[in-house]
Structure 1
């Protein structure tokens, strides 16, 4: 069998492209960003009024609740309605970005 540079280069390019696609897919499905979770919460609150401030912890932390063990992002949103300041905190699944809980803190 004779060595062919064109076959070698074509195979190498296909392998590199496949590796890149796999890496991107794993990165995109491995975890959602904290910013994405915060954006989702802010969008929900914007429907009810202006947001004064918001925050999110960028590093996920473990949550163990009634047999559920997950890594979560924690954050918060504040707003003023009828001159009353309201503060809320949220918990979001770090893998999917799904908001798991929102509760009023004051």
Structure 2
């Protein structure tokens, strides 16, 4: 019986380890979720009247670091004037890497 208990324990250990590995694996943020996060982070500073995002991630290098990113833009209308802003968001975390007025 002890060998059976040992084998069950080992099997459960491997199964738990695999489940944790899969749960911790780096998954990308969806472009929709990334756009939503950008809008939430910026909306308290500027009124957003429109937005867009590229659906396919692309390679981006900043400060000698490589990222997979989504590119997108926001438009804001204040006092009858429309302003455009472009952004770059890390596809893995949803962190804004760059935000520029045009």
Alignment of 1:59-74 (within 5 A): 59-64=56-61, 67-74=64-71
**Aligned pair 1:22/2:21, yes or no?**
yes
2:96 to 85, 95, 99: 99
Give CA-to-partner distance per residue, 1:4-63, whole Å, 9 cap, x none: 2x44334323321210111110135xx444344323321232113432222222321122
Distance 1:93 1:27, change over 3 A: closer
- Corresponding residue for 1:75? 72
Q: Distance in 1 between matches of 2:46 and 2:98?
A: 20
State how many pairs are aligned.
102
User: Do 2:26 and 2:92's aligned partners in 1 also have CA atoms closer than 8 Å?
Assistant: no
- What are the equivalent positions in structure 2 for 1:19-58 lying under 5 Å apart? 19-28=18-27, 31-58=28-55
The alignment's TM-score, normalised by the length of structure 2, stands at 0.73
Structure 2, gaps ≥5 residues long: none
Residue 13 of structure 1 corresponds to 12
